[in-house]
Copies of this chain bind each other. A is one copy, B any other.
Amino acid sequence: MLTVGAVAELTNVTIRTLHHYDEIGLVRPRHRTDAGYRLYDDRDLERLQTVLFYRELGFALEDISTLMSDPDFDRGRALREQRKHLEGESHRLERMIQAIDDAIDAHERGIPMDNETMFEVFGEEQRAYQREAEERWGDSGAWAQSRRRTADYTDQDWLELKAESEAIVTEIVEVFRSGEPADSTAAMDAVDAHRQQISRRFYDCSHEMQVGLGEMYVADPRFAATYEGLAVGLAAWARDAIVANARRAGVEVD
């Protein structure tokens, strides 16, 4: 028969947690000393062990309670659902780690830099692209808006932007890899995130303009190389997804 302190040490939980489980009736030690000290016997410890097992699996305490009291409870379904939940969490975590790696990377390379960070972050290709873009769009349109809006972005802003962009691209690649067709909701949502990010960060990007970008991703070898380097067939698929997304938004595309 162990007291709270001993049980706490044994099972690696805090005393308060034991008090809490007692309060909510999840693990009630069946004995007390005359002075009111909780005393846990073997069966109490077993119950606690089972509770901790399910807690480790991420179940809520109330669900554990249900699970342990109702013998007809559908454990299989609960376990499968919990598994799905955990898998989603795991994927999310991996993406987060990826994104944070990028942020660290950018941070380490970005901090000692001045306001030219933009070129470093986006790579050398951006510099060449800038001239072309000016020719294509003129200096009074979207590109100008983009330059105005980004003029006073700090280094930090650029780092964030890069990580953000990579997260979006990662998502697009994942949807592509999963075999979703270009006109699936997942695909359209993924490319629309791209469009929205451009709108927020650079210039107001309409669906028509994004379709133009999409065409460029396929036709322009620099972009094509970048996207095909991520996954074969990605550039064309992304363009199709952009078109489908535009159509979904009621935009006419030929």
Residues on A lying within 8 angstroms of B by beta carbon are 10, 42, 45-47, 49-50, 53, 56-58, 67-68, 75-76, 79-80, 82-83, 86-87, 89-90, 93-94, 96-97, 99-101, 103-104, 107-108, 111, 149, 156-157, 160, 163-164, 167, 196, 200-201, 218, 221, 224-225, 228-229, 232-233, 236-237, 240
Contact = CB atoms under 8 A, between A and B. Distances in A.
Given A49-B200, A53-B225, 9 more contacts: A42-B149, A56-B99, A68-B233, A76-B111, A83-B100, A86-B96, A86-B97, A90-B94, A93-B93
State the oligomeric state as a number of copies.
2
B218 A57 contact: no
A236 to B, nearest CB: 4
B240 A53 contact: no
A108 B45 CA distance: 27
Contacts of A99: 56-57
CB-CB nearest 3 A-B residue pairs: A46-B236, A90-B93, A79-B104
A249 to B, nearest CB: 14
Nearest to A219: B49
Contact of A83 (B68, B101, B237, B240): B101
Given A53-B163, A56-B99, A163-B53, A83 B104 contact: yes
Nearest to A58: B96
A1 to B, nearest CB: 14
A110 to B, nearest CB: 10
A76 B104 contact: yes
B53 A160 contact: yes
A236 B50 contact: yes
A107 B87 contact: no
A89 B58 CA distance: 12
Given A50-B233, A97-B86, A200 B42 contact: yes
Contacts of A196: 10
B228 A53 contact: yes
